[in-house]
Amino acid sequence: MSVEGDFGWTPELADIFVDGFKLGELCKSQGECTDCPGFWQSTASFDITNQAQDNFLQVLADASRQVNDFCNWQEPGHSMKAQFILSWTETASGQEMEFKKGVIEPIGEPPIYPEEEEEISILSTFVQNKADSPEKYVFRYFDADGEEILEYPARPEETRLMQVSLIINFEPNRDPEDYILESKVQLRNLKLENN
């Protein structure tokens, strides 16, 4: 967000509102802005994530009453112009960008695992794995022949190898490309023998 206009005096400022909520002020400090400079000034960024959740934004730049209408940049006789630049990062709907671990400690004998006792911690952020894309699954399961088990949940007695892959990328739309951290765990079947 930037403004241009008659902002050379301390009481001359612009209040910025989104959906009726005041985000801040531009040109509020002495010397931050000048009268009618002919370019954008007092650039500031605001997080409007909460206001944008309804897919509708009403943005207002309101000049204080001391701002006069004598500037001539691009058009004559204006008091203020405002420039709004909207940028966003799109994520899949409902997709978490964090990889989390939940642990429930057993209680009692025999043990029970109450869901309300689960403690969740974040293991990694900026995760780009996708639940609807098999090549981007976090967990993949393989049988004794090395064939991937595609029926989920994978049957424990068929699983011989489990692969964990995390795809990390702070900004997917820019280089560098994804960083992939991968690990494989070979599972053993333990049998109890009666003697």
Domain assignment of residue 58, given as a range: 1-88
The DSSP-derived string for 50-106 is TGGGGS---EEEEE-TT--S-B-SSSSSBSEEEE---------TT--SEEEEEE---
Q: Are residues 67 and 35 in the same domain?
A: yes
Q: Report whether 17 contacts 59 (CB < 8 A).
A: yes
Domain count, the chain: 3
- Asked if residue 54 belongs to a domain, the reply is yes
Q: Are 87 and 47 in contact (CB under 8 A)?
A: no
Which pLDDT value is given to residue 35?
Answer: 93
Looking at residue 93, what is its pLDDT?
44
Q: Is residue 72 one of the residues assigned to a domain?
A: yes
Say whether both 32 and 112 belong to one domain: no
Residues with pLDDT less than 50, the chain: 93-95, 190-193, 195
Residue 126: the pLDDT is 84
Adjacent-strand bridge partners of 181: 166
Computed over every residue of the chain, the mean pLDDT equals 84
Residue 79: inside a domain: yes
C-alpha–C-alpha distance, residues 170 and 125, integer Å: 8
